[in-house]
Structure 1
Amino acid sequence: MTTNKKECETKKFRKYNIQLEQIQRIHYQDPKVNELIKNNQPVLITNSSLVKSACEKWNTDFFEKYLGKINHTVYLSNDHNFKYFDEKKVLSETNPKGVEFTPKTRRLDMEMSEFIKKVKEWKSGDERLYLQHTLNATMGNAIVADYVKFDWRFAGEIRQKNNWGELTSNVLFISMEGNVTPCHYDEQQNLFAQIQGYKRCILFPPNQFECLYPHPVYHPHDRQSMVDFDKPDYSKYPKFKDVKGCETVIGPGDVLYIPIYWWHHVESSMEGGPTITVNFWYKGSPTTIEYPLKDYQKVSIMRNVEKMLLEVLQDPKEVGPLLRKMVDGRYTNP
């Protein structure tokens, strides 16, 4: 199964005041797919069989039947935004160097049957739910049987042609209608495969870093934008007015390549029921320095500089002022 452009345009998503182009939708056998991947450019890959075995079976009824009594990781939120946070960076008795932080989401272990029941019975004012769980052998024979039938040859060819590292994980995402994973970037290559329902994916290249105002590396929301896309504060984040990105709607059978260090803002359609997605995370290529440096390599350098300063200074509050002292009047006005 694959999604055509007309179907995509009929789905209901939020509206943002952002300059966006359409991501190219290309048949998996077209050589241009790999040209784009090789150049770290996003592409919507159509008609592949990567997750065909799952598209034919996986829905909430199937999961309730075969996974009903198994615990899974479920996040809950009072609104539609599910912003990831790193628990290791939160202040606690065991982490005195962490940040005082109150997350807007909470995590629970929940049986699949309970999760599905809550989703079906959800009403306005209730907490929203989002299941995110790593696919592995503990998921049961029925899931494993379909998992091994994924088109691993197709995924392996992409990995080999582009010299990616090993597959680190496959994560199953089951989302309520209208849920949003706010804008962030990952430090891995990502094949984002849709199984049920529709998602809108907005992507920004690494060179839009300063327009998206990422949290500092020490913050629990590291790798995520501080800008609220629903109500952007242009007085606080003025460069966000100039941000430029691209978008696509991904449907059953589609696979979106999200390049390493590319920002992505992902939302489930506000109609049509729960969405089901599986992603394939791969380590990036072994580091080779070639000049001029690529934009994502520059982002990696900036992250490492922040981490180094934090390690030396021992106080997050000193990192920003020191960086400003280094630059002010020296590089801004040469």
Structure 2
Amino acid sequence: MSLNLTQIERVKTITKVDFYNNYVKKQKPVVVEQLVNDWPAFAKWDLNYIKAVAGDKIVPLYDDRPVSHTEGFNEAHKKMKMSEYVDMLQSGPTNYRIFLYNLMKEVPLLKFDFKWPDIGLRLIRQLPMLFFGGENSKVFMHYDIDYSNILHFHFHGKKRCVIFPQSETRFMYKVPHALIAREDIDFDNPDYEKWPALKNAKGFVCDLNHGEMLYMPEGYWHYMKYLTPGFSMSLRAFPRNAMNLSKAVYNILIMRHYDVFMRKWKGQEWIDYKNEQAVIRTNNKLAK
């Protein structure tokens, strides 16, 4: 079975006014195909270039193993040199990904390859985070802790993005005290007998090619799959909606720390409890 997904609208180029009025104000996703054609990165950024300028950097890698109480928040599963990791990506499928990595801090040269787009969002002027993945590697379904508006740029190859607005959270088997859906759901081919609420969820999908940008509105759930080896960069803007901003503050100041405390105190029992509650709470909402 497949998810109930609509193709995300695409435009080749867009003005600041049109982007703000038609997408940011309406909180509607869009793919802009030629936003970065004048960036040096458009011509330069591929895996071989990253290997050449950052090959000696030690990078944190993550795979698709389930969350464990024995691991710290965003604790890496493995580390290796970037040159070795690029070789791994180019040699065949791998589950190892680089997640939320500030490579530009390690390699300042990369800062000169992109431009801050003047597109109607007040972007947070921290160095952008990069994400890398091998063929068929997946990023579990989640939404971001800060409810940001996200500009997600892809480079080298193709990446599939499946996204859902917060209005669909009641169908997503959200794990309580976390920002993720049940990790054992196959969002490529969901089992509706096991996860019946997903039949009601209405989302969006796109395949991003080199140089294309996906705008994800505040708090959107997203599941990413690398169809080929590649990497992406995200720029962010704080949520404009006051309710979303308050949820972001709660997530950062309270929820995250409470979850870390409970993991240390209860161990795997806490993880199992949350996964069980994800099903119970979703099914209760579905029954209503």
Give the TM bin, normalised by the shorter chain: 0.7 to 0.9
Counterpart of 1:178 in structure 2 is 136
- Where does residue 144 of structure 1 map in the other structure? 111
Query: Do the aligned residues in 2 keep the contact of 1:119 with 1:176 (CA within 8 Å)?
Result: yes
CA contact (8 A) 2:158 2:208 kept: yes
- Separation in 1 of the partners of 2:40 and 2:172? 37
Gaps of 5+ in 2: none
- 1:19 equivalent in structure 2: 4
For the 8 Å contact 2:104–2:111, the answer to whether it is kept is: yes
Larger-gyration structure (1/2): 1
Pair 1:250 & 2:208 matched: yes
Identify the match of residue 225 of structure 1 among 178, 181, 187: 181
2:90 pairs, out of 91, 97, 120, with 120
Displacement, 1:20? 1.3
Q: Assess, with a 3 A threshold, how the Cα gap between structure 1 residues 66 and 30 changes in structure 2: closer, same or farther.
A: closer
The structural deviation recorded for 1:245 is: 0.8
Mapped contact 1:83–1:182 kept (Cα < 8 A): no
Tell me: CA distance 1:301–1:59, structure 2 relative to 1, closer, same or farther (3 Å): closer
How far apart, CA to CA, are the structure 1 residues paired with 2:174 and 2:242?
26
Q: What are structure 1's unaligned runs of at least 5 residues?
A: 1-15, 290-295
Deviation at 1:199, TM superposition (A): 1.2
| Residues paired across the two proteins, number | 262
2: CA distance between counterparts of 1:228 and 1:121? Answer: 25
- 1:296-321, CA deviations, whole angstroms, 9 ceiling, x for partnerless residues? 579779979x959x79x998669x99
Counterpart for residue 276 of structure 1:
231
Deviation at 1:30, TM superposition (A): 7.0
2:32 maps to a residue whose letter is I
Q: Residues of 1 paired with 2:251 and 2:116: CA distance?
A: 33
Q: Deviations over 1:121-169 (max 9, x none)?
A: 347xxx532233213332153x2332xxx22142xx4224xxx6x3455
TM superposition score normalised by structure 2? 0.75
In 2 relative to 1, CA 299–23 (structure 1 residues): closer, same or farther, beyond 3 Å?
farther
2-structure distance, mates of 1:241, 1:117: 40
CA 281–84 in structure 1, closer or farther in 2 if over 3 Å, else same: farther
Instruction: Kindly indicate whether the alpha-carbon contact (under 8 Å) linking 2:143 and 2:221 is maintained by their aligned counterparts in 1.
Output: yes
SS of the residue corresponding to residue 240 of structure 1 reads helix
Distance verdict in 2 for CA 1:208–1:68, change over 3 Å: same
Q: Which amino acid aligns with 2:3?
A: I
SS at match of 2:120: helix
User: Is 1:34 paired with 2:20?
Assistant: yes
Name the aligned partner's letter for residue 57 of structure 2.
I
* Offset from partner CA, 1:37-76 (integer Å, 9 cap, x none): 122211112321377221211122212222111111222x
* One-letter identity of the residue aligned with 1:67: A
Aligned residues of 1:33 and 1:45 also touching (Cα < 8 A): no
Aligned twin of 2:47: 60
User: 1:248 Cα shift?
Assistant: 1.4
Pair 51,74 (structure 1): closer, same or farther in 2 beyond 3 Å: farther
Q: Does the 8 Å contact 2:148/2:236 carry over to 1?
A: yes
**Aligned partners of 2:136 and 2:236: how far apart in 1?**
24
Q: 1:254 to 1:231 in 2, by over 3 A?
A: closer
Q: Give the alignment's Cα RMSD to 1 decimal.
A: 3.8
Contact 2:90/2:229 (<8 A) preserved: no
Partner of residue 206 from structure 1, selected from 166, 188, 192: 166
Tell me if the contact between 1:197 and 1:251 (Cα under 8 Å) persists in the aligned partners. Answer: yes
SS in 2 for 1:136: helix
Q: Assess, with a 3 A threshold, how the Cα gap between structure 1 residues 107 and 19 changes in structure 2: closer, same or farther.
A: same
* 1:215 aligns with one of 139, 151, 175: 175
